[in-house]
Structure formats: structure tokens, C-alpha cells
Amino acid sequence: MLNDPKQLTPIVQKVITTLYGDKVKDITIRIVERFTMKPDFWDVAVDFKDDKKQYTVDLEINANDGKVVSARQIITWELK
């Protein structure tokens, strides 16, 4: 059971690296909240970048087993 938001860090880093590759950097968990309607799930907003873009991704993580149920890219910015 994942009761502490700090327990999410290695899960988030692994998911982002798996989805976006080894070139991602500056992975930052911006928002961590429990879903009101689904208290067994964490809603996690993550910012990170690669060589060309900056991203914000929203992850839904099951608090019971740490599995990611949903991942969606929210915003992408071109880096200059």
C-alpha cells in the first residue's frame, strides 16, 4: 500500500523513462492528490523535459499495488 506520496517517486521515474526514453531529465512531481471519488488512487502531475521539449503528464496510480492505471500527456512546450 502506498500511503506516503514519497513512495511514488521511483514509480513515476520508471514510468516516465519507459514512456519517453532515457533522454528525459528534470523529472519533477508537481502535484500529488488522492482522488476524492476513488481514494485508492493517486493523481500525480509530473513535469520533465528532453533535449527539445518540456512535458506535463498526468498519471493515475493505484495506491494498493503501485500500478499505473492511466497516463495522459497534458501539455508540451518547445524548448528554445
Would you kindly state where each structural domain of the chain is located, as residue ranges?
5-78
Distance CA 35, CA 62 (A): 10
Q: For position 38, what pLDDT does the model report?
A: 82
pLDDT tens for the chain, residues 1 to 80: 998 999 999 999 999 999 999 999 999 999 899 887 888 999 999 999 999 999 999 999 999 999 999 999 999 999 98
The pLDDT value given to residue 39: 86
Distance (Å, rounded) from C-alpha 77 to C-alpha 80? 9
Report the top-level CATH class of 5-78.
alpha beta
SS3 for the chain, per residue?
CCCCHHHHHHHHHHHHHHHHCCCCEEEEEEEEEECCCCCCEEEEEEEEECCCEEEEEEEEEECCCCCEEEEEEEEEEECC
pTM of the predicted protein model: 0.90
Contact 78, 52 (CB under 8 A): yes
